[in-house]
Amino acid sequence: MGRSKGYRKKHGTKHRGRDTDQIHRDLANPPAHKIDDDLPGRGQFYCISCARYFITEDVLKKHCDSKQHKRRLKTALEAPWTQQDAEAAVGLTTE
């Protein structure tokens, strides 16, 4: 039998990004951006769908044209799965 590779799980959860349901919620109600000197670009250039800060507006525009951003935005705009969807997929109904 093989060993459990716990070191892979530690890295995956330590650097975990935001989930699509959290991003979908942020797209519906965008947060206000306050000036924060600790963030790149003082926290003013933020991509909601990718949850990343950028240094300048030009870099943000270049990022918005990238394939990675377009894929992330497409998945974020879809409605997130709910518990009712999961139960319907299995065949459980509450009727």
Per-residue pLDDT tens digits for 40-52: 888 899 999 988 9
Mean pLDDT for all residues in the chain? 85
Q: Which amino acid, residue 32?
A: A
Structure tokens at 94: 């509450």
Which domains, and CATH codes, for the chain?
18-78 (3.30.160.60)
Q: What is the pLDDT of residue 30?
A: 86
At residue 59 the predicted structure's pLDDT band, cuts being 50, 70 and 90, is very high
Q: What is the pTM of this model?
A: 0.69
Which residues touch 95 (CB under 8 Å, ≥6 apart)?
Answer: none
- Cβ–Cβ under 8 Å, residues 69 and 50: yes
42 Rama sector, left if φ>0, alpha if ψ -120 to 50, beta otherwise: left
pLDDT digit string (tens) for 23-37? 888 888 888 888 888
Can you tell me the mean pLDDT for 59-86?
92
Exposure string over 25-56, b if 16+ CB within 10 A, otherwise e: ebeeeeeeeeeeeebebeebbbeebbebbbee
Query: What sign does the CA torsion over 75, 39, 56, 31 have?
Result: positive
At residue 68 the predicted structure's pLDDT band, cuts being 50, 70 and 90, is very high
